[in-house]
Structure 1
Amino acid sequence: MNVAIIIPSLNAPTLARALAALAAQTDTPDEIIVVGRDEAGTLAAFPTVRFIDTGAPVCAARARNLGMAAATGELLLLLDADCVPRPDWLARHRARHAAGETVVGGAVELRGSNYWAQSDNVSMFHEFVPGLPPGPRLLLPTLNLSLRREVFESVGGMDESFPGAAAEDADWTIRIRRGGRRLWFDPAAVVAHAPARTTPRDVVRHWRNLGHNAVRVRLRYPTEFGTPGGARRAWWWRLLSPLIAARVTAGVYAKRPLWPHWPSLPVVYATKIIYCLGAARAIDSGFATQ
């Protein structure tokens, strides 16, 4: 099965590390495509990588759509530029598809360069860490995702109207699931994620934007998320934010693999409050119901 790996990158300083990890895979990809901008000339050291220069910054959804449309492989693997896959990463994805799956999401090792990056990772990817059992999921993140080309062709690409911050991942994979495809989580296909969010300001900005974008997905798919009617009102998010944050944080640390990350608990709780306030802002602006 021919494999194409697609990486969106806007001059990512971590791109070289991700590409070096792909060169060290036990299985060799047939095609690697980087989409976006490379003003630093990082790709000069990787002559076999195909580069699609967008000319100007584009959102991650647009970059991934361009890469998937241009790829020739039967199996499309999405990887972020700030992720380092383990040497057997590609082999694990391939094996799961050979077993019959059509959409596979891998695990995220919660590696951060400092406390803030680590805590942001815990809050963001706690449902997809190594050590959790494999099985079907409601949604999957696209920083570590593989799908057969037929899925992309039948469902279509990601919604490019989302500014980013992972909401487009949820929207797209729920649409795939609604199209009759099972979303399978394989904790053995692991990438280490090292986000650039290394300061309190970075984390606040990320979670404010995530709440702003993700509430639109929650309102779009109320059945999948069990979204209550009050969630359509900004005051609901503001008033209940401490309680919502407490409930979600408790769920995070109910998972045994997250116990070693207890020092991040205060940040995880704070990010959930910030998420709620971002959601309220989106409802105030009308963005949430677009």
Structure 2
Amino acid sequence: MPDAAFTFITTCRGRLEHLRQTLPALVAQPGTGCVVVDYGCPDGAGDWVQATYPQVKVVRAGPVPRFELARARNLGAQAAGAGWLCFVDADGLLAPDFIARVRPVLADGCFHVAQPSTGTVSGMCIVGRREFDAVGGYDAVLQGWGMEDKDFYARLAIARVPHRAFPRELVTMIDHSNAMRVEHFETKHLKLSSTLNLAYCRAKWDLMRLGQDMSGEAAREALYRQVGQVMDETLRTGKRFRLAIPTSEQPSFSGAVLKGRLVYELEVPPQAAPSSADSSANPTP
């Protein structure tokens, strides 16, 4: 691997308890830097980091009403500079030899994820600054829990960025409840949030493959609102979730117009009230 900076980026809102356990392992990795994004953390994570590890760069989002993981990661990336960006959640504990074992497998022009990908470790990613910028980073339109990592990987794949693996055994995730996962999101229903985000992402990916420019935030926000309105109607009326997006119109020689559309349906829409599974220790896929 050519000489390049390697920066860990972790975000925190209400996770100082975890950060106290995991940040020492990040700081101890030789030849690396670290950025912590205090995204309105009520525990004062930024203050603790500055007082305890002055070599760590702290980014403060200011007063924000809720946690937005994708936007927080983008803020961290902006502060990281060039080289390799390694996104790791505040509950991800790295092995002491993490960087020594990862550096040999890093490949320029690729993004890297833990394999086998199990549980919340799937959100950990190592990617070059050039590839990160090429796809616009994480999609800050996404709200609530779920899909920001899979969406990032899918857009990298659409951009023909290959992926590589690093050993899953190098990361241990601290166990905690799903209630803690959604505590600082506006939507507290984990399954509802992840389902809405899945519908949005699938529609966005398909539109991108059809050649539609989805790089502008306004276009993505409009699509997200459309998906949210369909989900709200489903929850309010009990009707089947059905999202239809027009894609093309082609007139024929006979004068008839051939119209194309993307249609998405949910076999079993999520319920309006959180289920007991939403408070369990293990996240829903």
The percent of aligned pairs where both chains have the same amino acid is 24
Q: Quote the Cα distance in structure 1 between the aligned partners of 2:139 and 2:19.
A: 24
Number of the residue aligned with 1:87: 96
Greater Rg, structure 1 or structure 2? 2
2: CA distance, partners of 1:24 / 1:190:
14
SS of residue matched to 1:218 = helix
Gaps of 5+ in 2: 209-240, 245-262, 271-276
Listed as ranges, the gaps of 5+ residues in structure 1 are 111-120, 129-140, 225-229, 242-263, 273-290
Q: Is structure 2 residue 106 aligned with structure 1 residue 103? A: no
- In 2, the alpha carbon distance for the partners of 1:104 and 1:201 equals 24
Q: Distance in 1 between matches of 2:112 and 2:6?
A: 14
Equivalent residue letter for 1:102: C
**TM-score normalised by length of structure 1:** 0.61
State the partner residue of 1:47: 54
1:4 aligns to 2:10 (yes or no): no
Distance 2:268 2:161 in 1: 37
Higher relative contact order (CA 8 A, sep 6+): 1
1:43-89 deviation per Cα after TM superposition (whole angstroms, max 9, x unaligned): 12111111011112351111111111221241111111111111222
Aligned-partner Cα distance in 1 for 2:13–2:281: 27
Relative to 1, partners in 2 of residues 1:205 and 1:197: Cα closer, same or farther, differing over 3 Å? farther
Query: CA offsets per residue over residues 104-159 of structure 1, 9 Å max, x none?
Result: 0124797xxxxxxxxxx4xxx5xx7xxxxxxxxxxxx4x32111111122222211
> Considering only aligned residues, what root-mean-square deviation do their CA atoms show, in Å?
3.8
More helix by share: 1
Match of 2:78 in 1: 69
Give yes or no for contact 1:106–1:185 (8 Å, CA) kept in 2. yes
Kindly state the Cα deviation for residue 5 of structure 1 after the two structures are TM-superposed. 1.1
Residue 202 of structure 1 and its aligned partner are, at CA, apart by 6.5
2:198 equivalent to 1:214: yes
Q: Secondary structure at the match of 1:76?
A: strand
- Could you tell me which residue of structure 2 aligns to residue 32 of structure 1? 34
Secondary structure of 2:189's aligned partner: helix
Letter in 2 for 1:28: G
